Chain A
């Protein structure tokens, strides 16, 4: 079973920030938090990962709580092309995908 809990769907207006939550209360000390997304009819795409500290790259920011039991992926200015299923995954070297969050960005 997946070790993460995500809402099944979320909506976001174009140009606004999209904040996608993820609970991972059973995360182990050496496990990372990875985020991938999957646009319709494509393979998953890596977004970002982190261990303890918050991380930022050109695509998104990852905020991990101090107790590491939850995290939030932030897309600062969502566009229509960000509509996808977003997967939050915890692990070390193997990725176990859950059902993810379907993010719908609307005009």
Chain B
């Protein structure tokens, strides 16, 4: 079974530039997550999709970050314009869990991440 795919693996940009990350979840996984992991910290949830609808985006800095999941499969996360503090690893994960469903199904499968450096 193929895992969660992410691209690019690495990206270096200058502040105020724009950047986009792509994620392809495991086939059949209805739920998709984007996390931000700053060096030395655990991952922080930015946004959660159920199919192509947003479930939770309470920690997404909406003035500069946006995300979409067209057709309920692939997803893109965009930062525009980037700031120095956006330097982090951006992780995508997917799971089979459904809203209101048994939490025991909430095994999240993570991709390798995209390491963003903002200069």
Which residues of A approach B to under 8 Å, CB–CB? 2, 30, 32, 34, 36, 41-46, 49, 51, 85, 87, 91-100
CB distance from B58 to the nearest CB of A (A): 10
Cα-based distance from A30 to B101 in the complex (angstroms): 13
Q: Does B65 contact A (CB under 8 A)?
A: no
Beyond contacts A93-B97, A99-B40: 11 other A-B pairs, Cβ-Cβ < 8 A, are A30-B103, A42-B110, A43-B93, A43-B111, A44-B91, A93-B99, A95-B108, A97-B42, A97-B43, A97-B44, A98-B42
B-side interface mostly: loop
Cα-based distance from A59 to B87 in the complex (angstroms): 33
Cα-based distance from A95 to B43 in the complex (angstroms): 9
Cα-based distance from A95 to B97 in the complex (angstroms): 12
Structural contact, B56 and A46, CB atoms closer than 8 A: no
Closest 9 CB pairs of A and B: A97-B42, A43-B110, A46-B107, A97-B43, A92-B103, A44-B110, A32-B103, A43-B91, A98-B42
Structural contact, A46 and B108, CB atoms closer than 8 A: yes
CB distance from A3 to the nearest CB of B (A): 12
List residues of chain A with CB within 8 A of the CB of B113: 42-43
* 6 CB < 8 A contacts A-B: A32-B103, A32-B104, A92-B103, A95-B106, A95-B108, A100-B42
CB distance from B51 to the nearest CB of A (A): 15
A-side interface mostly: loop
Structural contact, A44 and B56, CB atoms closer than 8 A: no
List residues of chain B with CB within 8 A of the CB of A41: 112
Name B101's closest neighbour in chain A (CB-CB). Answer: A93
Structural contact, B48 and A94, CB atoms closer than 8 A: yes
